[in-house]
Amino acid sequence: MAEIVPPTTTRVERGTREDVDRRIRRQTRQRVARYARAGPEILRRRLDELDHEWDIERAIEANAALVSLAGLLLGRAVSRRWYVLPAVAAAFLFQHAVQGWCPPLEWFRRMGVRTPREIEQERRALQAVRRARERARSGRHACP
């Protein structure tokens, strides 16, 4: 039986098609491998990029806000029927908060928008690469 309220840490992955989750994981592994071969400055820049990457939560929230504002403006300027957009956006946002899924989630995930946890996994892997390089450069062994 499916959980009505899945755990916060895995709710988006559980609500995403498995092939999309696999593709996101594969792309992350490929990026880590590519940056592990890159120079230290490129690695540092990638870590900075990860600090600014929009995660799925931010994308869903921004999308709901934008659709709501558009609906309010169109409702005022064009027709009251447009007021349905903010209601739909609020319903989707609530559904995402509770279940970790809503219709826009599928589109964002197919576009490669990752969860905070997925972004953090890449960050930790790249930080481990950087630490290993620093130990190797200082002449220390990887193991204490």
Domain spans, the chain: 20-53+116-136, 55-113
At which residue do the structure tokens 């940056």 appear? Answer: 35
Could you give the percent of the chain with pLDDT greater than 90? 79
pLDDT above 70 covers a percentage of the chain that reads 94
Per-residue pLDDT band at 143 (split at 50, 70, 90) = low
Interatomic CA distance for residues 35 and 61, integer angstroms: 30
**Which pLDDT score, from 0 to 100, does residue 1 have?**
47
Residue range 42-62: mean pLDDT, rounded: 97
Q: Can you tell me the distance from the alpha carbon of 128 to that of 5, in angstroms, rounded to the nearest whole number? A: 34
Question: Amino acid identity of 61?
Answer: E
Average of per-residue pLDDT across 47-69? 97
Nearest to 63 by CA among 102, 114, 23, 116: 102
Specify the pLDDT at position 53. Answer: 98
What is the average pLDDT value for the chain, to the nearest integer? 92
